[in-house]
Amino acid sequence: MTIEHPSFGTLDDSRVIIFDTTLRDGEQSPGFSMNLSEKIRMAEALTELGVDVLEAGFAIASPGDFESVKSIAESVGQRDDTPVIASLARAGQMDVLRAAEALKAAKRRRIHIVIATSDLHMRVKLRLTPDEVIQQTVDSITLARQHADDVEWSAEDATRSDPDFLCRVVEAAIRAGATTINLPDTVGYALPADMVRMFADVRNRVPGIERVVLSTHNHNDLGMGVANTLAAIEAGARQVETTINGIGERAGNASLEEIVMAIRTRQDAIPRRNNIKTTHLLRLSKLLATITGFDVQPNKAIVGRNAFAHEAGIHQDGVLKDAATYEIMTPESVGWKTNSLVLGKHSGRAAFRDKLNTLGYNVGDNQLNDAFRRFKDLADRKKVVFDDDVVALVDDEVMRDHERVRFVSLDLHAGSKSPPRAELELEVDGVVKSGVSSGDGPVDATFKAIQAIFPHTANLTLFSVGAVTEGTDAQARTTVRLEENGKMVDGQGADTDTIVASARAYIHALNKLLVKRERTEPQALAS
């Protein structure tokens, strides 16, 4: 059976639309917030990955959210290969108009309307009768259709909604002009069999259902996000809503990389096509981890460090004879490469730029110069420089674009004989300043030196250290979380010296805090 869709033309049964909500549902989870330039970087990388719909945010949620949706519509939304750019809106006039305004510049746009349909949500949260929910559904979709041909409507808490009411409201949404109907498992309560029943019910009972794309959106509270998504595809869903690394509210959303690779690996059971370039999956996962400061767990499917590592002798023996003995997909198919030795300390700028291009970076001249200088420094200190080192270094450099406070140098006296002492130089608004401090350990001394140079009231609420590659000369990747007046920011840093990496992470977080302050209280900018 085929469907005529305003954004995708003729869709046949074999196509599954990949709707990514990393920048909306994913970003909503605590600790995962991103600033504007980080969101644009993610949006560009998601576009290159090949997602069909990119939910850029919830335009009415805050001025920052509006700005993000608008900026993505004005940048990524202008590309020839742009995905459909979507903004979430509740079923009300103000929300819909705000979403429409933010999306205006996008060549391809979707307004995504949500309203709850379960008895519990309608009664307690919305305080609306079922008939009022139907009326708001119809009114908001009718308004949205005046601003976009592509309108998605979501029945929040669909899996706990009364099936008869769900069918009534879905029918009303289709009549009002919705082109995609999404039935979310908002609280992660459903089991795969429930999904099959719900989709079959709606498909069998709702007139006009054959004209729209049915969509599934699943949370992971019982660890069922991916399983429920695959069950929904089998039951007739043609769109899946996902996030990179499965980030999202509470236990997260169904993970894009797991769903895409399940479809690709099990074509015998799930004969569906999509446009995802699977070799980009690892890159997206790492980019998100670098931006948010949260690595995936080592055993995470597809993108975890151990996903293709074979430890047991019997497995290693099998894999050496034929990888297919224990590998159901190749590491290369999702972007893992043997950690190749890259460049030496005598490599020139052209070779470095070439390497960056093959790793998927297209950096400007200033960033190239700074990254190249740091690469030379790294090659002097580290015996072998791997691709992962270059990625960590460049991500670190790109994050630092336009920062007011910049790391210059650190001289540290530490050990068991005398109290640690940090002598630090920072560039603040273009002027180099120095500060000295002692502390309860070298990290504490360094953070106090930052405080001495740039006084602030933020509290440190998280500090973590990991390694970019193996070996004692590996670069450290550090994360620092700062909190000030209810605003929380994470910063990252990478360096072979753990304390320098820590200073860089702290300074990164501090700069993010300054941007947040600037948005809310411009007069508080002076340090």
Place of tokens 């202008």: 78
CB-nearer residue toward ligand KIV: 182 or 290? 182
Encoded one letter per residue, x for contact with ligand KIV by CB under 6 A and - for no contact, window 96-115 reads ------------------x-
CB-nearer residue toward ligand KIV: 27 or 388? 27
Query: How many CB atoms lie under 10 A from the CB of residue 219?
Result: 25
Structure tokens that stand for 314 in this block: 């019997």
Rounded Cα distance, 440 and 448, in Å: 10
Interaction partner, residue 513 (ligand KIV, Zn ion, none; CB < 5-8 Å by kind): none
Rounded Cα distance, 435 and 451, in Å: 9
Cβ pair 242, 219 in contact under 8 A: no
Region for residue 335 given its phi and psi (left: phi exceeds 0; alpha: psi -120 to 50; beta: otherwise): left
* Closest distance of CB 51 from ligand KIV, Å: 16
Interaction partner, residue 61 (ligand KIV, Zn ion, none; CB < 5-8 Å by kind): none
CB-nearer residue toward ligand KIV: 237 or 468? 237
Rounded Cα distance, 334 and 175, in Å: 41
- Select from 16, 23, 25, 295 the one that contacts ligand KIV (CB under 6 A): 25
- Select from 217, 280, 355, 512 the one that contacts ligand KIV (CB under 6 A): 217
CB-nearer residue toward Zn ion: 251 or 515? 251
* Closest distance of CB 64 from Zn ion, Å: 20
CB-nearer residue toward ligand KIV: 160 or 504? 160
Rounded Cα distance, 320 and 372, in Å: 38
* Closest distance of CB 243 from Zn ion, Å: 9
Rounded Cα distance, 292 and 366, in Å: 24
CB-nearer residue toward ligand KIV: 114 or 476? 114
* Closest distance of CB 229 from Zn ion, Å: 12
Cβ pair 257, 244 in contact under 8 A: yes
Rounded Cα distance, 157 and 166, in Å: 10
508: helix, strand or coil: helix
* Closest distance of CB 436 from Zn ion, Å: 49
CB-nearer residue toward ligand KIV: 148 or 476? 148
- Please give the radius of gyration of the chain, using alpha carbons only, rounded to the nearest integer: 25
Interaction partner, residue 156 (ligand KIV, Zn ion, none; CB < 5-8 Å by kind): ligand KIV
CB-nearer residue toward ligand KIV: 29 or 154? 154
* Closest distance of CB 252 from ligand KIV, Å: 11
* Closest distance of CB 323 from ligand KIV, Å: 38
* Closest distance of CB 505 from ligand KIV, Å: 31
Structure tokens that stand for 228 in this block: 């429920």
User: How many chain residues bind ligand KIV (CB under 6 A)?
Assistant: 10
Interaction partner, residue 41 (ligand KIV, Zn ion, none; CB < 5-8 Å by kind): none
CB-nearer residue toward ligand KIV: 182 or 479? 182
DSSP output for 51-111: -SEEEEE-TTS-HHHHHHHHHHHHTGGGSTTPPEEEEEEESSHHHHHHHHHHHTT-SSEEE
* Closest distance of CB 282 from ligand KIV, Å: 26
User: To which H or E segment does residue 437 belong?
Assistant: strand 431-438
Nearest to 495 by CA among 393, 427, 410: 393
CB-nearer residue toward Zn ion: 25 or 389? 25
Place of tokens 């705000």: 98
Residue spans of alpha helices (H) in 104-246: 119-120, 130-145, 163-176, 192-205, 225-234
CB-nearer residue toward ligand KIV: 38 or 241? 241
Interaction partner, residue 110 (ligand KIV, Zn ion, none; CB < 5-8 Å by kind): none
Binding to ligand KIV (CB under 6 A) within 140-199 occurs at: 154, 156, 182, 184, 186
* Closest distance of CB 152 from ligand KIV, Å: 9
Burial class (CB within 10 angstroms; exposed 0-12, middle 13-18, buried 19+) of 127: exposed
> How remote is the C-alpha of 290 from its chain's centroid?
10
Rounded Cα distance, 31 and 174, in Å: 37
Residues found near Zn ion in the complex (CB under 5 A): 25
Structure tokens that stand for 293 in this block: 């400061």
Interaction partner, residue 385 (Zn ion, ligand KIV, none; CB < 5-8 Å by kind): none
Place of tokens 């601003």: 147
Any contact of residue 280 with ligand KIV (CB under 6 A)? no
* Closest distance of CB 218 from ligand KIV, Å: 8
Query: How many CB atoms lie under 10 A from the CB of residue 317?
Result: 12
Which residues contribute to the site for ligand KIV (CB under 6 A)? 25, 88, 114, 154, 156, 182, 184, 186, 217, 219
